[in-house]
Amino acid sequence: MPPMKIEPLEFLAYQVTGQEGVYRVCLEENDFFGHCSCAHFAYRVQPALNRGERPWPCKHLVLARMTAWSEIAPLLAKHWNKQK
Ligand SMILES: [Zn+2]
C-alpha cells in the first residue's frame, strides 16, 4: 500500500512485505531530512543524524519523500515562476 497522507508534510508509510507494522513518517523533522517511527530509524538513522552525518534514510522515509514530490514539485514550480 502506498504511503497515506495525514497532514500537509506528514505521511504514513506501510512497511514492506515480510515485516509487520505501520510507521509514522514526518518529512519536516530533522531540518527536512524527515523522521520515522521504525526501529531502523531510531537505532541507525537518528544516531547518525545526531552525529552530524547525512545517513541513507529508512525505506519508509524514502517512500514518503517520493509520494510527497508529486505534490511539492508543482508548488515549487509555481513559486519559481513567480520570481522570474
Ligand atoms: Zn522507517
Domain residues of the chain, as ranges?
Answer: 4-83
Distance 13 CA to ligand 1 centre (A): 8
pTM of the full structure: 0.79
| HSE value, Cβ hemisphere, 13 Å, CA-based, for 44 | 9
Question: Residue 48: is its pLDDT beyond 90?
Answer: yes
pLDDT of 53 reads 95
Distance 81 CA to ligand 1 centre (A): 34
Strand partners, 13: 23
Distance 6 CA to ligand 1 centre (A): 16
Confidence of residue 8 (pLDDT cuts 50, 70, 90): confident
- Across all residues in the chain, what is the average pLDDT? 85
Distances (CA, A) of 50 to 31, 34, 45, 46, 59: 12, 13, 9, 6, 19
pLDDT of 45 reads 98
Distance 75 CA to ligand 1 centre (A): 26
Distance 83 CA to ligand 1 centre (A): 36
Question: Residue 17: is its pLDDT beyond 60?
Answer: no
